[in-house]
Chain A
């Protein structure tokens, strides 16, 4: 193993290693960062939710956006799967339907970064149980 030779060396190493635990740090501070939930029930997975989730994680990390990406059960919008719920700090959650890998990237670049509302917003009519507990 290479020895660490200076403060600068150590900082470089720390920055390289940060990603390995950033998921835990972010989970600990979830209220202050972007939360993304991908519906991954049978209907979601069948319509391609898994690659969508991968794309969301990928785009966030390539743009250095701190986000918690998790999956949830069926949100009840089976007609519009895959669906993705995005909660930016200080904003109400918004659910987007018919998300493809391409659209996932757009969501990150346009909605999360620039606050542009894209097509396919599904009006929310209930409080999810995750918000209660």
Chain B
């Protein structure tokens, strides 16, 4: 085996690839060959490093230097300086925003300091298309020892004791789920991986599959052995082509090594995997809809019970788990349940991966121990609010979740605390909002998403959400009444109580939580016709300041509806009944004579 002196790791996740990280690796390889250094330096395309804000990322080893926002033009310089002369390329180092110093080792960056990577342990570290690198990192050791012990009940017990809960949103204890599935007897059972990932803004499952597909394959095989399933199915959205490709490569490599297929590791246990593609519908992430979609039926939920563990795919007992849930499993066996359960809070063990987005400085993918506070996540890891604006709220749980305000910043994050605060863990989307966000409009955004994505099977969700949306439009449009607010609250409750599946049962949450925490804002919209955040167009009033206006007539000529009148060289006025609030006059005025109320 070649003994490389340097490794150059390049992020090959979807985010960095969109910024041409493939060209960067190609360029590195070409220059290394030209300089005769290709036997000394290994170039590896890895999964996501998480710091997407600063991508494409290039990491140099063994000295752990972290270069940010690299382009393929920088390759030559990195090789000449870093590899040949042993000097860091300073202008590509990350600059600490607090003290403006360059930071070369990622361990010293605020973004990474508080992170703990379990599910993402191999993302940004190994080549996901090379099973050998996974094996070198204890890969498949958990499967091998579970098979060697040959005691499914004991393995399930390990997962139960670890305290692992489902990362797909609900937080159901994984060990218990496996136990239930193992006790239902049938000639065929199925182990299913939910890789639908429908939450807007969430991309942790994609990153795991792109960066460490073998960890999911290994875990599904362990799960299959535990519940007595010989077949595994991964339901993945067709919009994830790179994840699909890497998963397919990984499945083939595992088969070649005899880690999938017949008689795995000579244990007598058979297990194989198949991929099923989804068309990217949010509702198909719901487990019963997902199963129907795989059966070739419409992706519509059905009433539970029967639960999948009783009657799932093709009416056989099936176990559905989320990608991130699976990614935790091998580590629990390798490091022991005691180790895993020592991390986190009393009822939420281990870590959670979040996709940080919104008005925050460090957008990216992070993994943090349960029990960390929102303040640590937003202000330390996330680097605070963009453009020094004020923090207003953070949305967790996607369209099923809610908004949390400043008063929750010091609450430890876990399943139960988030629920108690009127939001939920969800799959891990975390959208940070600053003072310029209008909360009724935020609620409207999520409602719009659920209306689009509702399967239409049951009336409360199909019709009710549409009505909620219309009422919100009325409020945002400056035509809302106090009665509308009452209807909003009541109808939300009715939908929650009567919808068939989790989509409808949680869809009013964004409204209820913003009403809870930002009631003043709703009142301002309704009774004062005012948007405190200054976002709602209908409530803007453009007014000409008569003292400042010199009567140049530019605004009157710009107004598309002729709402501005006035004599040349004397102050103009805007007819509020005609004004459509397009802002053309404001843009045209050179004298700052137009103000927005």
Contact = CB atoms under 8 A, between A and B. Distances in A.
Contact of B63 (A4, A17, A68, A132): A68
Contacts of A41: 85-86
Please tell me the size bucket of the interface on A: 35 or more
Interface stretch (A26-34, A88-96, A102-110): A26-34
Contact of A20 (B64, B103, B132, B148): B132
Q: Among A6, A21, A27, which residue has the most Cβ atoms of chain B within 10 A?
A: A21
B138 A69 contact: no
B3 A57 contact: yes
Contact of A11 (B1, B85, B93, B141): B141
A7 B144 contact: yes
Contact of A24 (B9, B101, B102, B147): B9
Given A13-B135, A133-B101, A133-B103, A70 B62 contact: yes
A7 B145 contact: yes
A85 to B, nearest CB: 12
B257 A23 contact: no
B126 interface: yes
A63 interface: no
Contacts, number: 112
Given A24-B9, A30-B62, A70-B62, A5 B133 contact: no
Contacts of B140: 4, 10
A61 interface: yes
A107 B140 CA distance: 38
A4 B260 CA distance: 11
B136 A21 contact: yes
A23 B266 contact: no
Interface string B15-32: 000000000000000000
Contacts of B136: 14, 17-18, 20-21
A21 B137 contact: yes
A23 B63 CA distance: 9
Contact of A23 (B4, B145, B258): B4
A19 interface: yes
B265 A4 contact: yes
A54 to B, nearest CB: 8
B86 A24 contact: no
A130 B148 CA distance: 47
A71 B228 CA distance: 53
Contacts of A3: 256-258
Given A61-B3, A69-B5, A6 B266 contact: yes
B49 to A, nearest CB: 13
B266 A17 contact: no
A36 B265 CA distance: 41
A3 B84 CA distance: 41
Q: Among B62, B148, B258, which residue has the most Cβ atoms of chain A within 10 A?
A: B62
A24 B265 contact: no
Contacts of A61: 3
Interface string B59-92: 0011110000000000000000000111110000
Given A17-B133, A73-B86, A7 B148 contact: yes
Interface in B121-162: 125-126, 132-133, 135-141, 144-145, 147-148
A38 B5 CA distance: 13
Contacts of B137: 21
Contacts of A10: 135, 140-141, 144, 265
B3 A27 contact: no
Contact of A14 (B104, B138, B258): B138
Interface string A25-66: 011101000000111110000000000010001000100000
B365 to A, nearest CB: 18
A69 B4 CA distance: 11
A17 to B, nearest CB: 4
A21 B63 contact: no
A24 B4 CA distance: 11
Given A23-B7, A24-B61, A133-B93, A73 B85 contact: yes
B259 interface: yes
A7 B265 contact: yes
Q: Among B101, B126, B133, B135, which residue has the most Cβ atoms of chain A within 10 A?
A: B135
B61 A4 contact: no
Contacts of B265: 4-7, 9-10
Contacts of B6: 23
B89 to A, nearest CB: 12
Contacts of A4: 140, 144, 257-259, 265
Q: Among A7, A13, A18, A73, which residue has the most Cβ atoms of chain B within 10 A?
A: A7
A100 interface: no
Contact of A6 (B3, B62, B148, B256): B148
A130 B1 CA distance: 31
Contacts of A133: 88, 93, 101-105
Nearest to B60: A27
Nearest to B101: A133
Given A18-B136, A70-B86, A26 B144 contact: no
Contacts of B256: 1, 3
Contacts of A38: 86
A59 to B, nearest CB: 13
Interface in B220-244: none
Contact of B87 (A9, A19, A73): A73
A52 B102 CA distance: 30
Contacts of A17: 132-133, 135-136
A69 B62 contact: yes
Given A6-B265, A133-B101, A27 B62 contact: yes
Interface string B241-263: 00000000000000011110000
Contact of A72 (B86, B139, B266): B86
Contacts of B1: 19-20
Given A6-B144, A130-B104, 9 more contacts: A3-B258, A7-B145, A13-B135, A19-B1, A41-B85, A57-B3, A130-B88, A133-B93, A133-B101
Interface of A: 1-7, 9-11, 13-14, 17-21, 23-24, 26-28, 30, 37-41, 53, 57, 61, 68-73, 130, 132-133
5 interchain residue pairs of minimum CB distance: A3-B258, A71-B86, A17-B136, A27-B61, A27-B62
12 contacts: A3-B258, A4-B257, A6-B265, A10-B135, A10-B140, A14-B135, A14-B136, A30-B62, A53-B5, A61-B3, A71-B85, A71-B86
